[in-house]
A and B are shown apart, each in its own frame.
Chain A
């Protein structure tokens, strides 16, 4: 009985939430102290829990703290154990000898075949060590380690480390490790040279105006593409690795003197707080980073356009790029950001406003049109002109199903066509679309399974969902569409209103990295409020978004077209002289 009372209390009475918001974008330095305490405490608790859970340490964790031995044989044995040599086929362990200071010293080099550039290894590492090591060097008093690093290894990127874990990490990411007998350190050389795709056109975000370069799977190419656009020394590319085993390299990108420091801290904290063995793509990373995983709408923008990332960075946002993924993540994100495309910045403002209206209509159509059709045909006949109603009813005369079943059949058929079109390679995809849309649609009408007007509704809905610029948002609306069809079939317009009301409340409660998802409308922020809906001329965009609490609010001068003012001054002067 007491349990039942508790359940009723839990269901019907409001309880103060136990866990407060984890992260709020702060404006003042003084506010930080209190918040960090709770996050640190939570971190401690989770670490304690982990310690009890994983009592036995894996070998992976143990070699991170292992130091390099002075004895080369010990090091080789250890590497053989770690890399499963000789079972492992693509790892190369080459033993050789160098002659330095009139002594023959055994050495070895280890690297992955296929991930490294063999020419660099041969010419810049092996050749000097094996052939030039007996050359006369004037300063003979130098230590062996210093002598090798300063005179023999001619490669341009070398790190000397005493930590075995660091060398292994470098080898795993296309580097090579050089071990020398008698030295308790190793040389980790960057000799990456794997096959990769070149910079190509972005597949999912093509534009008419604007750059045609897209991200690739190579991390440094991606960061270089952004740096090439911004050309700003304040742009920071901070390296972080994610994944306990994979140690996938990621980079946090931000402009140091614009971005809110607490935002960068939060992104860094979340990235470092991901406890997973392997991570493959920014799609995975997005799901680990986002605030509300159960919200259908994406809360982080994934883009394959470097110019879009650069634009977001100048606004004061933070981007994360990851090795192996041609998509960058931009955060925080608001709902308006999801409705804007990369082209919006490059086109003149009247066209952009027209396109934005079209997009709004597309969203409305994609989300609600099938639901509205069901609501009108089942409950609210008085809403449409009589002639149209008669036409709809006449077309549905021979259809044996209720309108909700009819629309569900067609929506599922459409989803099938879309899914099959994506999965089929090359030229088969569009062919499948044509067969599905034209032939099946025609046949379904001829067989009286669906009415002709429904084909129009499903087609318009489909086109509408493809007009949404963000792929994730499009998918979200495809899912929500079915919920609205259900609600409309149960209670007509009342059901649709209820659905919109619930979705609105849900959206208002969501935050993306401390920024309310509905900003700048809920809560309303004043700077650039109208800009979010209506694109003003480019010279009017003086301020960065208010909700980001950036260090520098203005991004251009109040009068950015200074030449127009100069012209006015000249005209005035001329008139004055003529009058004189």
Chain B
């Protein structure tokens, strides 16, 4: 289980960084609102699984 979570976390981190990079590209293209939404998604990709673990542990 621990290893599984570790690998999933690494995978999610990679997705989040790449999504953030996409957000920056969107920002550079002057799609402000779209970029902000992509940043939110990039953050949620990490935050939601972490929260779910936190709740599961409690």
Binding site for B on A (CB under 8 A): 11-14, 16, 379, 490-491, 494-495, 498
Judge if B10 is at the interface, Cβ distance under 8 Å: no
Distance to closest chain A CB from B46 (angstroms): 13
* CB-based contact B25/A494 at 8 Å: no
Of A13, A379, A495, which one neighbours B8 at CB under 8 angstroms? A495
Kindly identify which residue among A14, A490, A498 contacts B25, using a CB–CB cutoff of 8 Å: A14
How far apart sit A183 and B25, CA to CA, in the bound complex (Å)?
69
The answer to whether A14 and B4 touch across the interface, beta carbons within 8 angstroms, is no
A18 to nearest B CB, angstroms?
Answer: 14
B36-58 contacts to A (CB < 8 Å): 49, 52
In angstroms, Cα B24 to Cα A13, docked, is 10
CB under 8 Å from chain A, chain B span 2-58: 4-5, 7-8, 11, 14, 17-18, 21-22, 24-25, 49, 52
Q: What residue of chain B has the Cβ atom nearest to residue A13's Cβ?
A: B21
> In the bound complex, what is the Cα–Cα distance between A64 and B23 (angstroms)?
55
Contact check, A495 vs B4: say whether CB atoms are below 8 A apart: yes
Given contacts A14-B24, A379-B1, A498-B8, 15 further A-B contacts (CB under 8 A): A11-B14, A12-B14, A12-B17, A12-B18, A14-B18, A14-B21, A14-B22, A16-B25, A491-B4, A491-B5, A491-B8, A494-B49, A494-B52, A495-B4, A498-B11
A82 to B57 alpha-carbon distance, docked (Å): 78
| Given known contacts A12-B17, A13-B18, A498-B8, A491 and B1 CB-to-CB distance under 8 angstroms | yes
A-B contact pairs, 15 of them (CB 8 A): A11-B14, A12-B14, A12-B17, A12-B18, A14-B25, A490-B4, A490-B7, A491-B1, A491-B4, A491-B5, A491-B8, A494-B49, A495-B8, A498-B8, A498-B11
* Whole-angstrom distance between the Cβ of A261 and the nearest chain B Cβ: 32
Chain B residues, Cβ within 8 Å of A16: 25
Instruction: Enumerate chain A residues within 8 angstroms of B18, measured Cβ to Cβ.
Output: 11-14
- Given known contacts A379-B1, A491-B1, is B21 in contact with A12 (CB within 8 Å)? yes
A494 touches B14 (CB 8 A): no
Q: With the chains together, A306 CA to B18 CA distance in Å? A: 47
User: Bound state CA distance, A12 and B1, in angstroms?
Assistant: 26
CB distance from B51 to the nearest CB of A (A): 12
Minimum CB–CB distance from B35 to chain A (whole Å) comes to 12
Residue among B4, B11, B24, B49 with most chain A CB within 10 A: B4
- The complex places the Cα of A328 from the Cα of B17 at a distance, in Å, of 45
Provide the residues of chain A in CB contact with B14, threshold 8 Å.
11-12
Residues of A within 8 A of B8 (CB): 490-491, 494-495, 498
A502 CB to nearest chain B CB (Å):
9
Interface centre among A12, A14, A16 (most CB of B within 10 A): A14
CB-nearest residue of chain B to A491: B4
- Closest residue to A493 on the B side, CB-wise? B52
Query: Which of chain A's residues has its CB closest to B48's CB?
Result: A497
Residues from chain A with a CB closer than 8 A to the CB of B22 are 14
CB distance from A10 to the nearest CB of B (A): 10
Taking CB atoms, residues of chain B closer than 8 Å to A14 are 18, 21-22, 24-25
* Least Cβ–Cβ distance between B4 and chain A, in angstroms: 4
Nearest-neighbour CB distance to chain A for B50, whole angstroms, equals 11
Distance from A386 Cβ to chain B, minimum over Cβ atoms (Å)? 19
A92 to B16, CA, bound (A): 70
Q: Which residues of B sit under 8 angstroms from A491, Cβ to Cβ?
A: 1, 4-5, 8
CA distance A67 to B22 in the complex (A): 59
* Cα A11 to Cα B24 with chains together (Å): 15
Q: With the chains together, A379 CA to B18 CA distance in Å?
A: 30
| Interfacial chain A residues near B25, Cβ < 8 Å | 14, 16
In the bound complex, residues from chain A placing their C-beta under 8 Å from that of B4 are 490-491, 495
State in angstroms the CA–CA spacing of A192 and B21 once bound together.
Answer: 62
Q: Which residues of A contact B24 (CB under 8 A)?
A: 14
Q: What chain B residues lie within 8 Å of A495 (beta carbons)?
A: 4, 8
B11: nearest residue on chain A (CB-CB)?
Answer: A498
